[in-house]
Amino acid sequence: MVAFKLPNLFRRIFAEGAFVQAFMPSFVASKNKGVFAIATFRRFLLFIVASSMIVSFFPEFFTTLIASGLSDETIAATAPLTAITFWYLSLIFIVTFLGTLLQYKEHFATTAFATVFLNLAMIAALLYYRDDTPQTVVYALSISVIVGGILQVIVHLFAIKRYKIHKLLFGGWKYRKDKDIVAEEKKFNTLFIPAVWGSSTPQINAFLDTFLASFLIAGSISALTYANLIFTLPLALIAISASTALFPSISKAFANGREAEAYENLGKAFWLLLSALSLAMVGGMMFAEPIVWLLFESGRFTEQNTLVTSKVLIMYMVGLVPFGLAKLFSLYLYASHRQGKAAKIATISLVVNIIASLSLMSSMGAAGLALAGSLGGWVLFILTVREVGMGHFMQIIKSMRTIYLIIGLILFAISFYYLNEWLVELIRH
């Protein structure tokens, strides 16, 4: 879990988060799309490969940065795995770059489906080496991450050819007169750094949780990881998928001066996300223990582990709605080239999270770290809405839908409460 934390952090920050949010608006506005795309691809890939080589040469140093509270023996055992898994970042950048071009064509299925290959590669490694030593299993699992990344790249190459985007890329590679896109590259560079910071708050929070949890009792990192897996499921299915599908059309609308159309889409997406995320939040908090029991409790994952993880999950769920809606509203900042504003908001949110983490971890343990992240999420949401425009937000919520949603959630909460009581009783007996 620790070895995969570093490539996952940079994957979410650079590959899936900041890169898409800075590249898409610039690509839409570019007059030399092929040249701009290839020039950006070359520079980023070179930087990521160089970073992977540095991590490969000094794996123990970077492993210590992730979880310095672990013993020297554990860090020494984890370091080689960190060196292997970090190369996944280069592959996932290629996937993200190609996936962003497919998003421009409003094709999302390939990128969404490609993750299956990573999971299949990891599952296959676990099944094949299940009877070997733990050391062999973790090395096989680390290598399977690289295999999964290669399969993801191959699938995207087929899709690129199908949608004839390869002609655009070949043309940009052949032409390669970067002087024609100097102004566009400069604008992209000024957007990228703020976009990195602005889109990375949840990932930095997760990284911070791992670092601080390494100083808590044994099992705290695992409890946070298991609970976060459940938390990110509705976040990805509902908020991230909707935002991914909406971002290209918003960028095109802003680029062509159709702001009214962009904000109209905001209203439609808002109610869809709010309803689904609210229901998931209430259900996740009410059914935390049965969910963790059903998914994880077996073998060495004991009843006590379930109780600890379910408490962490409840604290994570407090932040599900704000994180999801902040993701939606932040699209309008990125599409309108306000990455700097998003970065300032993210900084304030991160500071709140750090202060809350240090304040709550001693009394609440891992659950306190999860709650601190949720509090940071609420700050992120409120400040993002304020920057997008309170007028737009108030216009959206001035609707009978708000009353219907509140009544519905109260009824669901009551029903979930009694159902949860019955389920917990059934589980324990």
In the DSSP assignment, the letter for residue 178 is G
The CB density around residue 54, as the number of other CB atoms within 10 Å, is 12
pLDDT digits (tens, 9 = 90+) for 279-298: 899 888 888 888 998 888 88
Least confident stretch, 95-109, 376-390, 407-421:
407-421
Of 211 and 347, the structure prediction assigns the larger pLDDT to 347
Q: Is the pLDDT of residue 160 over 80?
A: yes
- The pLDDT of residue 272: 83
Regarding whether 150 and 228 lie in a shared domain, the answer is: no
Q: What's the mean pLDDT in 186-204?
A: 71
The CA angle 66-225-69, to the nearest 5 degrees, is 35
User: Final residue of a domain: which of 145, 168, 193?
Assistant: 193
User: Final residue of a domain: which of 159, 193, 227?
Assistant: 193
pLDDT digits (tens, 9 = 90+) for 17-76: 667 777 888 788 787 888 888 888 888 889 889 988 998 999 888 888 776 667 778 888
Q: What's the mean pLDDT in 5-23?
A: 68
Regarding whether 209 and 76 lie in a shared domain, the answer is: no
Q: How far is CA 203 from CA 9, 192, 206, 346, in A?
A: 6, 17, 5, 11
The CA angle 392-329-399, to the nearest 5 degrees, is 40
Regarding whether 17 and 161 lie in a shared domain, the answer is: yes
Q: Is the pLDDT of residue 83 over 60?
A: yes
Regarding whether 55 and 81 lie in a shared domain, the answer is: yes
Please give the Cα distance from 339 to 19 (Å, whole number).
Answer: 12
Q: What's the mean pLDDT in 191-210?
A: 73
Identify whether the C-beta of residue 381 lies closer than 8 Å to the C-beta of residue 322: yes
Of 287 and 178, the structure prediction assigns the larger pLDDT to 287
Regarding whether 269 and 389 lie in a shared domain, the answer is: yes
In the DSSP assignment, the letter for residue 11 is I
Residue 133: is it exposed, middle or buried by C-beta count within 10 angstroms (0-12/13-18/19+)?
exposed
**DSSP H or E run through 421:** helix 400-428
Regarding whether 186 and 209 lie in a shared domain, the answer is: no
Q: Is the pLDDT of residue 174 over 80?
A: no
Q: What's the mean pLDDT in 293-314?
A: 87
Regarding whether 364 and 289 lie in a shared domain, the answer is: yes
Q: What's the mean pLDDT in 203-224?
A: 79
Q: Output the DSSP codes for 318-352.
A: TTHHHHHHHHHHHHHHHHTT-HHHHHHHHHHHHHH
Regarding whether 41 and 92 lie in a shared domain, the answer is: yes
Regarding whether 113 and 227 lie in a shared domain, the answer is: no
- The pLDDT of residue 250: 82
Total of domains in the chain:
2
Q: What's the mean pLDDT in 318-325?
A: 90
Of 268 and 179, the structure prediction assigns the larger pLDDT to 268
Amino acid making up residue 62: F
Q: What's the mean pLDDT in 389-408?
A: 71
pLDDT digits (tens, 9 = 90+) for 350-396: 899 999 999 998 888 888 999 998 999 999 999 999 998 887 777 77
State the residue for tokens 């992977």: 52
pLDDT digits (tens, 9 = 90+) for 326-345: 888 888 888 887 878 888 89
Identify whether the C-beta of residue 405 lies closer than 8 Å to the C-beta of residue 278: yes
Q: Is the pLDDT of residue 217 over 80?
A: no
Regarding whether 204 and 127 lie in a shared domain, the answer is: no
Alpha helix stretches (DSSP H) within 58-87: 59-66, 72-85
pTM, 2 dp: 0.71
Structural tokens at position 303: 């009843």
Identify whether the C-beta of residue 274 lies closer than 8 Å to the C-beta of residue 325: yes
Domain that holds residue 272: 200-429
Confidence of residue 262 (pLDDT cuts 50, 70, 90): confident
Residue 429: is it exposed, middle or buried by C-beta count within 10 angstroms (0-12/13-18/19+)?
exposed
Regarding whether 391 and 341 lie in a shared domain, the answer is: yes
User: Final residue of a domain: which of 156, 172, 193?
Assistant: 193
Confidence of residue 311 (pLDDT cuts 50, 70, 90): very high
Ramachandran angles phi, psi of 35, nearest 5°: -65, -45
Regarding whether 245 and 185 lie in a shared domain, the answer is: no
Query: Three-state SS for 163?
Result: coil
Query: What is the distance in angstroms between the CA of the first residue and the CA of the last residue of the chain?
Result: 32
Structural tokens at position 217: 């009792």
pLDDT digits (tens, 9 = 90+) for 110-156: 988 888 999 999 999 999 998 899 889 999 999 999 999 999 999 99
Q: Is the pLDDT of residue 186 over 80?
A: no
Strand intervals (E) in 126-183: none
Q: Is the pLDDT of residue 176 over 60?
A: no
Average per-residue pLDDT for the chain: 82
Structural tokens at position 66: 């992730």
